[in-house]
Structures are given as C-alpha cells and as structure tokens.
Amino acid sequence: MALLAAIALSTFVFTADPKGDLAIASVKVYPAKARRYPNKQQEFAFVNFNVSADLTPLFNWNTKQLFLYLEAEYTNAKGVKNDVVVWDRIVRRKEDAVLNVVGKNKYMFRELSSTFKQVPPAHYSLKYNVMPYVGVLTYGEAARTLEPVAFPLAQESVS
Amino acid sequence: MFSDEIKTLRRLGFRHLLLQVLNFASVIASGLMIWKGLGLITNTESPIVVVLSGSMEPAFYRGDLLFLTNPPTERYHTGDITVYKVPGGDIPIVHRVLETHDVIAKKSKSSSNGDIELAPVQNQLLLTKGDNNAVDDIELYQGLDWLERRHIVGKVRGFLPYIGYVTIAMNDFPQLKYALLGGLGLLALIQRE
C-alpha cells in the first residue's frame, strides 16, 4: 500500500509538457440526414488535419497509456461554447508516442443548431490525458492551431 | 468443535458479549461516516466507484477502483472521464466525454406578483463514449439526446488497479459474501483484547 502511494506521488516529479504542431488541411461541410431523426436535415463538418508531435517525454514508469484527442472549440452566435472531439487515439507504448498523423475526423462533427451557417471560425487543439498505473490522471495540451479555421458553406454533394 | 468457543463465551459473560457487539457496530458506523464524509467533501453521492464493465479498456478493467470528485462550479471538459447515471438506468456508467455544449438556459418563473426573471442557468450538454466502444453513448441515454450536468455523479481523478475486484467477486458468488460477513462477525464476537 505504501509502495503504491509512493509510486503515485512520484509521478508529480515528472512534469513534461511536450509541444507539437497541428495544421488543419481542410474543412468541408455537407448536409445529410440526422442519425436519430431520419426526417431531419443536418450539416456535418469533415476535417482533415496533419499532426506531428513527440510525446515520449510523457512516458515515465507510472504511465499506462496516453489518450490523445483532437478537439474543435468554438462559440456559436447564440453564445453556446462548444468543444467537440473529432479524433482520438490511445498510445500504449513509448515507441508509438512519436506522432505523424495525416488524418480525418473519426467522429461526427455536427452543430447543435444543425447548421454551420454563421458559426464563427473554430480553433482546433490536440490534447492528451496521461493515465497512470496507479494515482492521479493528468491532462494537457500538446498543440493548437494559431489561427481559427472558418467553416465553409455547405456543399451540395460530395465532389 | 465449537465447544471451546462456547466455553470461553460462557466465561466472559453477557456484558463482554454486548461490548463486542457495540465494538462491531462502531466499526461499521465509522466506516459509514468516512464514506459519507468523503461524499460531502467531493460533492458526489459515491466518491469511490468500482469499474463493472470493459467498455473503457485498456484504460480501466473490471474491478479497478476509481476516485471521483464533482466540483459544483467547474465545467466538464472533453477528455474527462465521467461517471453518470441516467434516469431509468440501473448502474452508473464510466465513460469519457466526447462533446460539451455550454448552453445558457433562461428560466423564467411566473408568480402572483408578476414575472420573476431568474438568473440565466448555466447548463452543459455532454456526449460520452467508452474508449473501447465503437460508437457514442446515445443508445445508453434511455431516450435522452444529451447527458446533462445533473445526471453526472462525478469526474474520475484517481485510479487504483484491481482492488475493487473483491466486490465483483462477492456479487458473482454470494456465498463468499455471507462467509466473509459471518467470519468477520464471529471473529469480532469471540476475540478478546
């Protein structure tokens, strides 16, 4: 028990804060049917991104895994603050912690008002959650877009 | 085979037996006090939770112990692991937050002497997903579209592996539970300091 407590406390010594790069290659918006309500039209955003980051410093002897996630942050015209995770990845080994990902969103990205019209540009950020073998869960941010990325108008069909 | 024990019980007398019962009761009471005290500090109904399913693997496995807090002023972020209980669902679920939407709900309440405008209430709509599940949790929300703040029991802060497996084992094999309880009770009655 004392050993477990010592291990848990020792992780407070490791305060790595690695930074990486995040670029949004493209954002596209398409109308589609909502998943739960087949008669409702809803717009979905599709994000392509490039991420490169070296997160190996986050691995210490009490790191079980990293949970990485890419989220979009924006406040819409009504003043509703939105954080939406569009992509995530679990990293379980130190060797896999060097990221070089060219990817697209894994989860549906939709707006509460069902349209991205007049939604201000969104910031995107790569965040991580360090999950220990025993002890406290910690969170951090590894990368962020410098400029907010605007949502384009909805395209009629997939081109 | 219990003749020895019965003999010692006879010798110690009724008062001693009562004292031991009292001792046992105080142990249980202090346990309950610690539990409820922790709940008060952390603002959750259950500050310690045992993982019951594999939907958060490889982060949490069955039997892992989680420590929760639920600060009333703090908003939840994406990536936080929450424990939630929707009305109609019988067990609390441990899943990670995928989307947050901080809506401002304006509630106005009319009374006999006119309309009283209440301060805008901050509410958060959340969507969660288990790390090991392919899709988000809408199917688990019992008809709700979003999880709201009041459904949430707490946010996972700390983690202790496997310790909680005892409770799962006791649920799976009820005989073990009774054997353990009986054994503890007998020990408490018989032992003398």
One-letter amino acid at B67 equals F
pLDDT value of position B156: 92
Residue A37 lies in a domain: yes
pLDDT given at position A122:
92
- Decide if B161 and A134 are in contact by the 8 Å CB cutoff: yes
Q: Which residue of B has its CA nearest to A81?
A: B102
Handedness of CA A34, B152, A131, B162 (dihedral sign): negative
Structurally, chain A folds into a number of domains equal to: 1
Predicted pLDDT of residue B193: 53
Q: How confident is the model at residue A157 (pLDDT cuts 50, 70, 90)?
A: low
Closest CA–CA distance from residue B158 to any residue of chain A (Å): 4
Report residue B99 as tokens: 């989307």
Expressed as residue numbers, the domain containing A22 is 16-144
In A, minimum Cα distance to B132 occurs at A90
Give residue A86's pLDDT.
93
Domain ranges of chain B: 3-42+167-190, 48-162
The pLDDT of residue B192 is: 60
CB-based contact, A79 to chain B, within 8 Å: yes
Which CATH number fits the domain that encloses residue A107? Answer: 2.60.40
Determine, yes or no, domain membership for A66: yes
Q: Lowest-pLDDT range, A94-98, A140-144, B116-120, B143-147? A: B116-120
For residues A29 and A100, is the Cβ–Cβ distance under 8 A? Answer: no
Mean pLDDT, residues A5-33 taken together: 86
Closest chain A CA to residue B61: A133
Q: Which of B101, B138, B159 sits opposite A135 (nearest CB)?
A: B159
Tokens of A63: 């790191």
* Mean pLDDT, all residues of chain A: 88
- The reply to whether A51 falls in a domain is yes
CA distance A79 to chain B (A): 8
The pLDDT value given to residue B95: 93
| A34 located within any domain | yes
Residue at A98 is within a domain: yes
Residue A71: closest C-alpha in chain B: B78
Complex ipTM, two decimals?
0.85
For A157, left (φ over 0), alpha (ψ -120 to 50), or beta? beta
Nearest CA in chain A to B144: A36
Q: Which one of B51, B69, B99, B157 would you mutate to disrupt binding with A, by most A Cβ within 10 Å of its Cβ?
A: B99
For chain B, say whether A85 makes contact (Cβ under 8 Å). Answer: yes
Phi, psi angles (nearest 5°) of residue B98: -105, -40
Residue A49 belongs to some domain of the structure: yes
Just list the catalytic residues of B: 55, 95, 137
| Inter-chain touch A137–B81, beta carbons under 8 Å | yes
- Whether A112 sits inside 8 A of B101 (CB atoms) is yes
Phi, psi of A75 (to 5 degrees): -115, 120
Which residues in chain A are contacts of B81 at CB distance < 8 A? 129, 137
Q: What is the per-residue pLDDT for B110?
A: 46
Look up residue B124 and give its amino acid. Answer: Q
Residues of chain B with pLDDT under 70: 1-2, 9, 105-121, 191-193
DSSP characters for A40-96?
Answer: -EEEEEEEEEEEEEE-GGG--TTEEEEEEEEEEEEE-TTS-EEEEEEEEEEE-SGGG
The answer to whether the beta carbons of residues B99 and B127 sit under 8 Å apart is yes
Q: How many CB atoms lie within 10 A of CB B14?
A: 9
The domain B48-162: what is its CATH number?
2.10.109
pLDDT, tens digit, for every residue of A24-65? 999 999 888 877 787 888 889 999 999 999 999 999 888 999
**In this predicted model, which residue has the larger pLDDT, A139 or B3?**
A139
Question: Best interface-test mutation with A: which of B77, B82, B98, B133 has the largest number of A CBs within 10 A?
Answer: B98
At residue A8 the predicted structure's pLDDT band, cuts being 50, 70 and 90, is confident
pLDDT at position A67: 93
Asked whether residue A6 is assigned to any structural domain, the reply reads no
Specify if A54 maps to a domain: yes
Please report residues of A whose CB lies closer than 8 A to that of B139.
none
State the pLDDT confidence band at A84, using cuts at 50, 70 and 90: very high
Q: Residue B87 CB: number of other CB atoms within 10 A? A: 10
B59, B79, B101: residue with CB nearest A82: B101
Optimal mutation site among B42, B51, B78, B162, interface A, most CBs of chain A within 10 A: B78
Angstrom CA distances, A146 to A23, A54, B33, B121, B139, stand at 9, 19, 51, 32, 37
Residues of B in Cβ contact (< 8 Å) with A83? 77-78, 99-101
